[in-house]
Amino acid sequence: MTKVPYHLAIIMDGNGRWARSRGLPRLAGHRAGTENIRRILEGCVEYGIKILTLYAFSTENWGRPTAEVRGLMRILEQTIDRELPELHQNGVQLRHIGRLEGVTERLQQRIGEAIELTKHNDRIILNVAFNYGGRTEIVDAVRRIVEARVEPEQLDDTLFSQYLYTAGLPDPDLIIRTGGELRISNFLIWQSAYAEYYATPTYWPDFNEEELHSALLEYSRRERRFGLIKPEAGSSMTTPS
């Protein structure tokens, strides 16, 4: 493996189907998926990945059955309580990207405490995209730009990025989607403009260290050109005509 992504993002899909294939309730799949995060986080640290962004709950997921949504909220709260001490001890910096509106006050408090406790850790940044939507993020960024009274001539890609939830972080180099679907599902729409994509039919709870290795190996084989073309010997890289 000649290179690894600095910033890896994962669409953790397939929890419900994983549970259904085993005759279990959907929440059992979500619990299994949550427990898998530690395994993949540890793998990312071993490979030297510096930022891991996980798509945990989208703005569209509020439309799921009430019992499932409430269960997801409980699972996240329990996971924070259970995992936070060890995450902090191991140098993980936790961040939340998305909106907190609609999230219970108790869970908002837990999220805030986790962010505050780990804000100086620098081994790896773990972004949890919870109540997140890519379009919502862009709308929120535009609102903040308007509130800041930014002059139109000042606005460019770099400045706009500073108003996103991921302000100050580089865009993802690789986005992995588990569960077999081939769509981005409103995830990091702005930031993923030149990200590499890797899809696997493996459901998220079964996405293990070997699966992670396969994804990173495939990434290391790809040539990222960012809209340019590969230069010939003795020439500089140029845009296609």
pLDDT (tens digit per residue) in 181-239: 999 999 999 999 999 999 999 999 999 999 999 999 999 999 887 777 766 655 555 55
Is 143 inside a domain boundary?
yes
pLDDT at residue number 1:
76
In a domain, 27, yes or no: yes
Per-residue pLDDT at 225 = 77
The confidence score (pLDDT) of residue 236 equals 54
For residue 31, the model assigns a pLDDT of 97
The structure tokens 């990207």 sit at 97
Domain span holding position 37: 7-221
Annotated active-site residue 61? The verdict is yes
Number of domains, the chain? 1
Q: What is the pTM of this model?
A: 0.92
The residues pairing with 10 across neighbouring beta strands, listed in sequence order, are: 54, 176
CA Rg, the chain, in Å?
Answer: 19
Residue 235 maps to a domain: no
- How far is 163 from 98, CA to CA, in rounded Å? 13
* pLDDT for position 235: 55
* Active-site choice (61, 90, 121, 186): 61
234 in any annotated domain: no
Q: Enumerate residue ranges in the chain where pLDDT < 70.
A: 230-241
Residue 239 lies in a domain: no
Output the pLDDT for position 102: 85
* Given 13, 15, 127, 131, the catalytic residue: 13
Angstrom distance (rounded) from CA 133 to CA 204: 20
In a domain, 82, yes or no: yes
Q: Are the beta carbons of 12 and 53 closer than 8 angstroms?
A: no
Is 72 inside a domain boundary? yes
Among this protein's residues, is 13 annotated catalytic? yes
Give domain status of residue 157, yes or no. Answer: yes
Contacts of 209 (CB under 8 A, 6+ apart): 39, 40, 43
- Looking at residue 241, its pLDDT comes to 41
Check: CB of residue 123 under 8 Å from CB of residue 90: yes
For residues 92 and 120, give the distance between their C-alpha atoms in angstroms, rounded to a whole number: 9
CATH number at residue 212: 3.40.1180.10
